[in-house]
């Protein structure tokens, strides 16, 4: 990734995190801001935690430079940061009308974070092996 594309990805990741914060603290139920979630089945709301947090991990990981020697350590930092972010958002929901903190939601957030990290690690390995194979073919 180029420096410019990383900068763009940082902006996108920040905007995405802000959207997550806003959606997480919107009141639930009827009212001025409430009711946004009334047409979404609770099971779908729960299922969305996994891809939403997987995408967050991917965005944050691709927004920061990872060198091969330290990539696992940095991915671990991203995973822990995203888990803490999700836990804070889940905890803050106690203060929002019509919302509540849920252990299940927190576990779904962690599941999404781990799934996203697995995809990112797999993607990076595939990309690295592809780059090496191309380099070997070019050397022959």
Cα–Cα separations (whole angstroms), residue 10 to 55, 60, 64, 132: 13, 7, 8, 27
pLDDT computed for residue 137 by the predictor? 66
Alpha helices in 37-102 (DSSP H): 42-63, 71-92
- pLDDT tens string 52-71: 999 999 999 888 876 654 66
Rg of the chain taking only CA atoms, in angstroms: 18
- pLDDT tens string 6-31: 899 999 999 999 999 998 888 876 66
Residue among 18, 129, 15 nearest 63 (CA): 15
CA–CA distance, 136 with 119 (Å, rounded to integer): 25
User: Model pTM?
Assistant: 0.82
Choose between 132 and 93: higher pLDDT. 93
Angle between helices 103-139 and 42-63 (to 10 degrees): 40
Q: Please answer whether residues 54 and 112 qualify as being in contact, where contact means their C-beta atoms are separated by less than 8 angstroms.
A: yes
> What tokens were used for 140?
């022959």
Is residue 136 predicted with pLDDT exceeding 70? no
Angle at Cα 114 formed by Cα 69 and Cα 48, nearest 5°?
140
Choose between 35 and 21: higher pLDDT. 21
Choose between 4 and 107: higher pLDDT. 107
CA–CA distance, 31 with 89 (Å, rounded to integer): 21
The pLDDT-based confidence of 132 (bands split at 50, 70, 90) is low
Q: For tokens 């889940």, what's the residue?
A: 90
pLDDT computed for residue 111 by the predictor? 97
């Amino acid at each position: 990734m180029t420096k410019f594309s990383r900068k763009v990805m940082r902006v996108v990741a920040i905007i995405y995190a802000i959207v997550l914060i806003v959606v997480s603290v919107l009141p639930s139920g009827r009212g001025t801001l409430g009711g946004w979630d009334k047409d979404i089945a609770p099971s779908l709301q729960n299922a969305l935690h996994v891809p939403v947090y997987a995408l967050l991990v991917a965005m944050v990981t691709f927004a920061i430079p990872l060198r091969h020697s330290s990539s696992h350590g940095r991915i671990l930092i991203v995973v822990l940061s995203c888990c803490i972010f999700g836990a804070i958002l889940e905890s803050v929901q106690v203060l929002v009308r019509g919302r509540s903190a849920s252990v299940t939601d927190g576990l779904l957030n962690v599941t999404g974070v781990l799934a996203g990290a697995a995809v990112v690690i797999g993607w990076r390995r595939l990309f690295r092996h592809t780059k090496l194979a191309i380099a070997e073919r070019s050397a022959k």
